[in-house]
Amino acid sequence: MNAQERADYFDTIYQQQDPFGYGTRWYESRKRDILLATLPRAGFARAWELGCSNGETTRGLAARCQTLLATDMSGEAVAQAAQRVGARSNVEIVQACHPQQWPHGSFDLIVVSEVGYYLQPDELKDLVERVEDSLTPEGLLVACHWKHAFEQAHQDGLAVHHCIGHLLSLPLAYRYEDNDFLLEAWTAHPLSVAQQEGLR
């Protein structure tokens, strides 16, 4: 799919409320909980969630971030996210297609979850390079993707993560993998949560 076909595809599926079952499937809430639980800081100053869909993960991130930018290329998804997130004043939800459109400033947390495989390989490469430039020096990039091939995906999640890891100059900070998804995070300054908490 090119960018226009992708926008049409997502606008069509978001005619349904919660087309991926984010609010109803235990698979999804477990995955979201794992992503949030692995974040090595209790709070972040300025985060960006790329491809926020209908805002389920956005709500979880909002509680951990002073300010949160949530973007999605689908106007329908953005409308559903705005409804879910409600009046939280620290969240800005914007319709934008990446990497063609890009936010200003830098972020100490960027989350790319279940988005990378929709991009064409050259778009993914561009996105990864720009993401690294948009991280603060201590910033963390978290990526999480379904491992299996599916019709709309240009590549599977393992290939997406291989590409991200290969292009970034940042070391891997941590990873979680099960039969179905892979979650990885990179940062120039990996943190020990135990050290932060004075446990060692």
Residues that bind ligand SAM (CB under 6 A): 6, 10, 20, 22, 51-53, 57, 71-74, 77, 97-98, 113-115, 118-119
Residue with Cβ nearer ligand SAM (174 or 188) = 174
CB of 97 to ligand SAM, least distance (A): 4
Residue with Cβ nearer ligand SAM (77 or 170) = 77
Residue with Cβ nearer ligand SAM (93 or 135) = 93
Q: How far apart are the first and last CA of the chain?
A: 50
As to burial, measured by CB atoms within 10 angstroms (0-12 exposed, 13-18 middle, 19+ buried), residue 80 is buried
CB of 75 to ligand SAM, least distance (A): 9
Residue nearest to ligand SAM (CB): 51
CB of 187 to ligand SAM, least distance (A): 20
CB of 157 to ligand SAM, least distance (A): 11
CB of 37 to ligand SAM, least distance (A): 15
Residue with Cβ nearer ligand SAM (65 or 77) = 77
Residue with Cβ nearer ligand SAM (92 or 191) = 92
Give the HSE-up count for residue 45: Cα atoms under 13 Å, Cβ half-sphere.
9
Q: Which residues contact 23 (CB under 8 A, 6 or more apart)?
A: 54, 56
CB of 151 to ligand SAM, least distance (A): 13
State both tokens at 147. Answer: 């491992």
What are the φ and ψ backbone dihedral angles of 187, each rounded to 5 degrees? -160, 150
* Contact (CB, 8 A) for 183 and 143: yes
Residue with Cβ nearer ligand SAM (48 or 186) = 48
